[in-house]
Each structure stands twice: as C-alpha cells, then as structure tokens.
Amino acid sequence: ILYENLLPGKIKRSIAAYFGLADKVFASWLHSVVYVRNICAHHSRLWNKTLSIRPLMPRSPRNTFIKLPANGTPQVYFILSMIIYLLNTINPNHTFVSRFKALLSRYPSIDVRAMGFPEDWKTESIWKD
C-alpha cells in the first residue's frame, strides 16, 4: 500500500491529520481495509469472522466514531464503522450506510451480532443516514 511506503514524517502525518487520526491509527486502518478486501476478493467468509488484523482505536477522533465494541475484538462491525468514518471525511454525501441497511433488510434472518454489531448499533451517530 502506498501509504506504508512513505517515509515517516510530515507527509504521513498530514494525510492522517486530514482524516483526524494519528499516523499509526490511520496506517492500521488502511492495513485492515486491505486485509478485508483480500478476504472478499478470495471469496472467503467475512460474515461472522473474528479478524486477525487488529486496527487501532482512535483516542480522540476529530469526527464521530463508535464506542469500542463490547467484545473488544475487531469484527466486521468495527471495520465497516472505520470505512464509514473514512467515507464521511472523503464524501459526506455517500450512500454506504443507507445501502448497507437496505441490504440487511433484504435478509432479516441474518444475525448482525455475529458480525460484532452491538444491540444499539443503529443509534450510533456514525450509522445514522
């Protein structure tokens, strides 16, 4: 990934700061997104997977983010919340949240708790569309 190839310093900090994150947090998020992309690209199961890559939780993100997942493990919920956070910075008018909720509504038997979603996930600010 290109970000990892940058030398530590001002440029990396500037890119991370654009997203309101520390450099190490941003790098861990990008690594996690690449990891999940590879899971999907190779047709592996993502639905109820506990991910072996552990993205860092931001201490004080500039933008709205979620509470630390109750089980403390990086599951799909945390990764999707990270992606929404990044999308909110890049394009606040994205439709990811509404499209994801529409997808879930087509499959009501899916237990989102198996993906690390807490009971009150729809009340999290980041998940409101």
Q: Which two tokens stand for residue 128?
A: 């409101």
Q: For each of the chain's 129 residues, which pLDDT tens digit applies?
A: 566 666 677 888 899 999 999 999 999 999 999 999 999 999 888 888 888 888 888 877 676 677 765 455 678 998 999 999 999 999 999 999 999 999 999 999 999 999 989 888 999 989 998
HSE of 101 in the Cβ direction (CA atoms, 13 Å)?
Answer: 11
C-alpha angle 40-98-61 in degrees, rounded to nearest 5:
80
Q: What is the pLDDT of residue 109?
A: 94
pLDDT tens-place string over residues 7-24: 677 888 899 999 999 999
Q: Give pLDDT, residue 103.
A: 95
- Give a three-class secondary structure readout of 30-48: HHHHHHHHHHHHCCCCCCC
Tell me the whole-structure pTM to 2 decimals: 0.86
Distinct helix (H) and strand (E) counts, the chain: 5, 0
